Amino acid sequence: MKTVITAAILFTPLEHIDSPIVTIEDGHILAINSRKQIEMPSNAQHFDFPDLVLAPGLIDIHVHGGSGHDVMETDRSALSAIQRRMAKHGVTSYLPTTVTATEERILKALEHLGKAISKSHQNDGSRPVGIHLEGPFISHAKRGVHPPENLVQPSQEIFERFWQASGGTIRMMTIAPELAGAIETIRHAKKLGVHSSLGHSNATYGETNLGIDAGADHATHTFNAMRPLDHREPGILGAVLSDDRLSADIIADGIHTDPSMVKLFLHAKGPERAVLITDAISATGMPDGRYKLGALDVDVKGDRCEHEGKLAGSVLTLDRAVRNVMSFAQWKLQQALRLATLNPAWLLGIEDHKGTLAPGRDADLVVLTPSGEVVQTFVGGMACV
């Protein structure tokens, strides 16, 4: 049976269509038209959202958990709870993100997540489209809360073990380019189609450029866990902000980065290369208390998550990040949505079926108020919330 969705306006997100009619069948978009052009299709399930906005489903490339669960738990019910929570906030695709732990624990988590990705057609909310490996290839100096005893020097051999355990589903790897073995590991990962994201790094400007030359094409939570910017030694941050070979993401919660710095970041990277992430942990959507980030205990009060006095992830949701960009940088909804839809899809190389609304694409849509509040989410044409 066909499904038809109508609304006041649709953002593709690059273009907008007034009075749209989106026709869906078998999980894909058949057609997008305006009610000014065609009549309403007959014999179709109809969802009507007058005065509301249709947009592509949001894509979060950095998620550790939510609803009291962590993605490194080897329990399918944990992922289901996380995915249902994300769908309530408009996220239809995501990268479950690991955290530094013992190699044994990372391998078990990767195996579990890889199997979950192979079954991601099951409709229980947002769907995983790959894994983000955050740690253990990061700098001791900029490790944040990642346990120092589990950090290791990057190597092709260790990465290959991770790759095999995941069933070839790792899509992104955060890595510090200054570490011995990093350049070779970045090159190896690129051959496998894995995006190397520079982060948790104390690299100099020159060391960062070596990583980019080797194939790194993104940066992880810009400003956080990075060598500070200096006018004589720009360091990793100077390269991230100025090099057009890199896209970069940011935690736009007003805690990890001041609103003025979010605005600076958006000005530097522009609408084409900026990506919004949440870095959300298990506490997302939960009351204040103590929660897990991997094996770490994290104390959560309000919007702040800390482990031993250091920031440890966030409880940010991606729809709120979009609204924060509208507030912090005075961007319009259509502009802000691109940072959580098309841009991450381009980065991951899935823009041919996700991140934009067009015939033939996956029917992943979010229904929003004009101010960016989520009303309804569709994954594969099925209503989730």
pLDDT of residue 123: 61
The values of phi and psi at residue 365, to 5°, are: -135, 155
Distance CA 315, CA 95 (A): 16
Distance CA 284, CA 65 (A): 7
The values of phi and psi at residue 166, to 5°, are: -80, -5
For the chain, give the percent of residues with pLDDT over 70.
99
Distance CA 67, CA 281 (A): 9
Q: Which residues lie below 8 Å from residue 77, measured CB to CB, with a gap of 6+? A: none
Model confidence band, residue 147 (pLDDT cutoffs 50, 70, 90): very high
Tens-digit pLDDT profile for residues 35-88: 888 878 788 899 999 999 999 999 999 999 999 999 999 888 899 999 999 999
Active site residue 303: no
Written as six digits, the tokens of 348 are 């991951």
pLDDT of residue 135: 95
Per the CB < 8 A criterion, the answer to whether 355 and 92 are in contact is: no
Tens-digit pLDDT profile for residues 251-286: 999 999 999 999 999 999 999 999 999 999 999 999
**If we measure between CA atoms, which residue out of 357, 232, 292, 255 comes closest to residue 67?**
292
Distance CA 261, CA 136 (A): 28
pLDDT of residue 286: 97
Residues pairing with 251 in the sheet: 277
Residue among 60, 279, 319, 364 flagged as catalytic = 279
| Mean pLDDT computed over 308-336 | 97
Distance CA 131, CA 117 (A): 9
Tell me what the pLDDT averaged over the chain comes to.
96
pLDDT of residue 125: 93
Sign, CA torsion 96/97/101/106 = positive
Distance CA 109, CA 86 (A): 20
Model confidence band, residue 122 (pLDDT cutoffs 50, 70, 90): low
Written as six digits, the tokens of 32 are 């997008």
Model confidence band, residue 322 (pLDDT cutoffs 50, 70, 90): very high
pLDDT of residue 68: 97
Per the CB < 8 A criterion, the answer to whether 111 and 71 are in contact is: no
What is the H or E stretch that residue 279 is in?
Answer: none
**If we measure between CA atoms, which residue out of 281, 336, 274 comes closest to residue 305?**
281
pLDDT of residue 120: 62
pLDDT of residue 272: 97
**If we measure between CA atoms, which residue out of 133, 279, 142 comes closest to residue 199?**
142
Going from the N-terminus, what domains does the chain have, and what CATH number goes with each?
A: 2-54+369-383 (2.30.40.10), 58-351 (3.20.20.140)
